[in-house]
Amino acid sequence: MTGYLIAMLTQTGLYALLALSLNLQWGYAGLLNFGQIGFFACGAYGYAIVTGTLGWNPAIGFAAAMLVAALVALPIAFASVRLRQPFYLAIVTLGFSEVVRAILTNESWLTNGTRGLAVRFFVPGMAPFTNQILMLGSVLLAVVLVFLLLERLGSSPFGRTIEAIRDNEDAARSLGKDVAFYKIKVFMLGAAIAGAAGALSAVYVGYLVPDQFLPVVTFYIWMAMVIGGSGSNRGVILGSALLVFFLEGSRFLKDFLPADLDISDASIAAIRFLTIGVALTVVPLYWPRGIWGRKGF
């Protein structure tokens, strides 16, 4: 049971990192990104290739994961400048995530295709439980550092500028703000954070295959942000915790049902997603800004 709780906390931390990066892009700057899993995958495979195939130090692997994700985000960031309607950017980023998965599947010379890549632990040879604890500590430390960074960024002139761009891009441009520069910088920074989360996930999972990076993960992250509160870093962390609780805690739903009810596992799975759907519907009705959303957002 202890191992399962550690796994849930680790998964919560990984989702929180992705939600924080998405909150920077959408909550602060209004950039509608539906391809978050693509940057996550770039970071995961970047780390695996640098530390595994090339045999370099894990610290270099993490730096490479963030750099690869940020550089891949650069052309999409330029697209975000030209696509004034956010829904067009959503389509572009969603397509991007599927292109990334297709490349991971077909470019076997680099990614080993569907056979996947093995990723070593932080400390090879250490007991699995000790590695789990080390992994959890690393993920939580990353969440704290990213949270503090974004809180500081949000209260800075840079943060106020990107919020102004989100609210009224033309007004911000009329005041002499370089809208394109701010959008590109925010999009690349958010992608770099997602890449770091991907690197941590690669170490945590220990083996990478393309089918781990499905679009549904991006929508999970959106659910976490909507539930917790878009624009609130504290809120998206809370939303990530609630999402994992619903996803994982609902696995034990059958244990609380009367024993004489013969419900199949398939029905339980449907009830699980129905429960999550109801939660996602109720929260916007009673908390339009999310459970811990910022006032005035």
Residue boundaries of the structural domains of the chain: 2-214
Instruction: Kindly report the number of other CB atoms within 10 A of residue 259's CB atom.
Output: 7
pLDDT score, position 124: 67
Contact present, 231 and 28 (Cβ < 8 Å)? yes
Q: Which of 66, 92, 67, 28 is nearest to 230 (CA)?
A: 28
**CB of 137 closer than 8 Å to CB of 145:** no
Q: Which of 173, 187, 196 shows the shortest CA–CA distance to 47?
A: 196
Distance CA 223, CA 279 (A): 10
Q: Is 126 helix (H, G, I), strand (E, B) or coil?
A: coil
pLDDT at residue 82 in the model: 79
* Phi/psi of residue 30, nearest 5 degrees: 75, 25
Tokens of 55: 């045999």
Other C-beta atoms closer than 10 Å to the C-beta of 138 total 17
- pLDDT at res. 261: 67
Q: Specify the pairing of strand 117-118 against strand 207-208.
A: antiparallel
Provide the pLDDT for residue 292: 85
Instruction: Give CA–CA dist 273/263, Å, rounded.
Output: 15
Instruction: Report the predicted TM-score, pTM, of the whole model to 2 decimal places.
Output: 0.92
- Enumerate residue ranges in the chain where pLDDT < 70: 1, 84, 123-127, 250-262, 294-297
Report the SS3 class of residue 118: strand
| Site of tokens 């990076």 | 213
